[in-house]
Amino acid sequence: DPVARIALFGFPAQFGALKNRITQFIGSLFDTSRSQVNVSLRGLYFSSGTQEGTPFDQVLGAIGRSFGSASQAHLSGAGKSFFLHDLLAKVIFPESGWVSFDRAAERRIRLARFGGLAAIALAALAALGVLGLSFFANRELIASTRQAMAHYRDSADSLLKSTTVTDVDLENVIGSLDQLRNLPAGFENGDQGKPIEETFGLSQRERLLSASKTAYRQALERSFRSRLLVQAERTIQARMADPIALYEPLKIYLMLGGKAPKVDDELIVSWMKQDWEENRYPGENNREGRAQLEKHLRAMLALDDAYDPAFALNQPLVEAAQRSLGRMSLADRASAQIKSAVYAARLQDFSVAAKAGPEAQLLFERIDGSELADLKVPGLYTRAGFNRFFLPQLSRIAQMLVDDRWVLGGGGEQGGIDQDLPKLGPELVDRYGKEFAAAWNGVLDQLKLKAMLKDKPQYLALSALAAPDSPLDQLFTAIANETALTKGDSAGEGDTGTAEPDPASMAKGLARIGLQIAGGKSQSRA
């Protein structure tokens, strides 16, 4: 088509002729003095708006007419704007991200976008990592607990299957109890904080600890308390003829069996420790075992606060023991209660070898030839034992007798003691004086001096006797101090395990049992 060729050939020149007008138009639009809006030119798009029937749009037609060119005839039909539609839909909108008004700002936005996405990704990875760590840590805790419980069931199979207690040897159960106590989430570790890797919302330690405590408590009740009760029964049977010695084991038996109005945990621990140390597991080689037994005993007493013991006591034995105690005088009962507290007070014994000095072995020996270091006067019969233990116990004994009437059963609870209390104090002091003299005479009767000339020519014994710090002089001075009970007691001497008594309350308690003291503790008179 020659016309179309001519139009195409002349198009560049015609488009170039628009430069000045377009420049003026754009300059007027983006004149900074006219507009306060900071707008930048993105680009220039040239397209036909609506079809006029010729290849030229209205703009070119107007330009052509300005140059004196006649426009060609319009074609019939309405004009169409598909050129403008395609320009917007296919060019301008898709190219919206090509140009930025500020390259630095665009770079910052791009970096911020990438940084935000990276932070979100890192946070997600960290959260997944923490949850994974917590998951595997708790899974390991559960697995180790299951393994430990399986090992416990294997080792304690015979104990779990037994329905009766045929032996009272606690050594047979201490191993299995240690296994339960030392579970990964067991009673032994219950007070420790949770490891950080087990937290983050997935921790199973509390559930495992609760289950472990339940299993441990049931094992203590089944295998530990049952043996303590059987041993207490045997002790009661062995002491049935001695009411004074019977009183404390019966009281412990009733407490362990849940038949006491109030359980004294420390009294139970003290009595058991004394029994283990003096009778059942004596000696230094059993020290660690006794410590383990004490830990289990204290755990049993702590865990049974919300539960009643499931064992039925030997009621005929209890009634027989209570009848035997019913034949005790008030002074016997008081003496039994006071002596039951001696072990827990940890009174310091009077040691002949220690008080006579380092050269005591050179001068003294025992009549029977046994070790001098074992020759001791019980701490109850020392000056500290009298002033810091015996007198305070006397001041509380009246109330203690009232509180412990339940031990004697119905008869003890019905009987009144108020009319006998004024005579109780003098009788207890008289008993103490006789026991005091017997304890000291028994120790001194076993002591003798070594032959002075037997070790010639060194004469070590004679040299020790003549020395300024003679063992004989040191021993006699110590004996004089310890037997002067009314001399009072220094505050730091001895260890009774009890708080310093209030003088006014002590005087009131002693007056209740018929004893009067004058002045302070240093002038105590009984």
pLDDT attached to residue 334 = 92
In terms of residues, how long is the chain?
Answer: 526
Q: What is the mean pLDDT of the chain?
A: 81
Whether 62 shows a pLDDT value over 70: the answer reads: no
Cβ–Cβ contacts within 10 Å for residue 393, how many? 23
Whether 51 shows a pLDDT value over 70: the answer reads: no
What mean pLDDT do residues 139-144 have? 82
> Would you say 186 and 216 are in contact if contact means Cβ atoms under 8 Å apart?
yes
CA distances from 191 to 186, 187, 217, 220 (A): 10, 8, 16, 19
Q: Token pair for residue 313?
A: 């006591």
Whether 133 shows a pLDDT value over 80: the answer reads: no
Binned at pLDDT 50, 70 and 90, residue 2 comes out as confident
* DSSP H or E stretch at residue 447: strand 447-449
Residue boundaries of the structural domains of the chain: 106-208, 347-526
User: Of 69-73, 192-196, 288-292, which gets the smallest average pLDDT?
Assistant: 69-73
Specify the higher pLDDT residue, 66 or 508. Answer: 508
Whether 201 shows a pLDDT value over 70: the answer reads: no
C-alpha 398/C-alpha 419 separation (Å) is 12
C-alpha 245/C-alpha 216 separation (Å) is 33
What mean pLDDT do residues 160-177 have? 83
pLDDT attached to residue 212 = 87
Whole-number percent of the chain with pLDDT over 70: 80
Whether 523 shows a pLDDT value over 50: the answer reads: no
C-alpha 208/C-alpha 150 separation (Å) is 15
What mean pLDDT do residues 440-453 have? 87
User: Model confidence over 299-358: pLDDT tens digits?
Assistant: 999 988 767 776 789 999 999 999 998 888 899 989 988 988 888 888 999 999 999 888
Q: Token pair for residue 463?
A: 């040299």
Whole-number percent of the chain with pLDDT over 90: 29
pLDDT attached to residue 164 = 78
Question: Helices marked H in 220-314 — which ranges?
Answer: 226-238, 243-256, 265-275, 287-303
User: Model confidence over 207-235: pLDDT tens digits?
Assistant: 888 888 889 898 998 889 999 999 999 99
Q: Which residues contact 203 (CB under 8 A, 6 or more apart)?
A: 134, 138, 194
What mean pLDDT do residues 119-128 have? 86
CA distances from 57 to 52, 82, 228, 420 (A): 6, 12, 113, 134
Whether 64 shows a pLDDT value over 70: the answer reads: no
Best mean pLDDT range from 154-158, 326-330, 462-466: 326-330
**3-state SS class at 57:** coil
User: Model confidence over 182-196: pLDDT tens digits?
Assistant: 888 788 876 666 666
Q: Token pair for residue 122?
A: 């890192």
Question: Helices marked H in 341-409 — which ranges?
Answer: 342-345, 352-355, 360-363, 383-385, 391-403
Supply φ then ψ for residue 193, to 5 degrees: -70, 160
What mean pLDDT do residues 241-261 have? 91
What mean pLDDT do residues 237-258 have? 91
54-78 exposure pattern, b = at least 16 Cβ within 10 A, e = fewer: bebbeebbebbeeeeeeeeeeeeee
> For residue 325, which of 261, 397, 412, 258 has the smallest C-alpha distance?
412
Cis-peptide, bond into residue 358, ω within 30° of zero: no
Supply φ then ψ for residue 126, to 5 degrees: -65, -45
Q: Token pair for residue 29?
A: 């639009």
C-alpha 526/C-alpha 524 separation (Å) is 7
Binned at pLDDT 50, 70 and 90, residue 524 comes out as very low
Quote the distance between the C-alpha of residue 320 and its chain's center.
43
Quote the distance between the C-alpha of residue 301 and its chain's center.
16
Binned at pLDDT 50, 70 and 90, residue 23 comes out as confident
Supply φ then ψ for residue 28, to 5 degrees: -70, -30
Tell whether pTM > 0.75: no
Specify the higher pLDDT residue, 273 or 94. Answer: 273
Q: Which residues contact 356 (CB under 8 A, 6 or more apart)?
A: 363, 364, 471, 472, 474, 475, 478
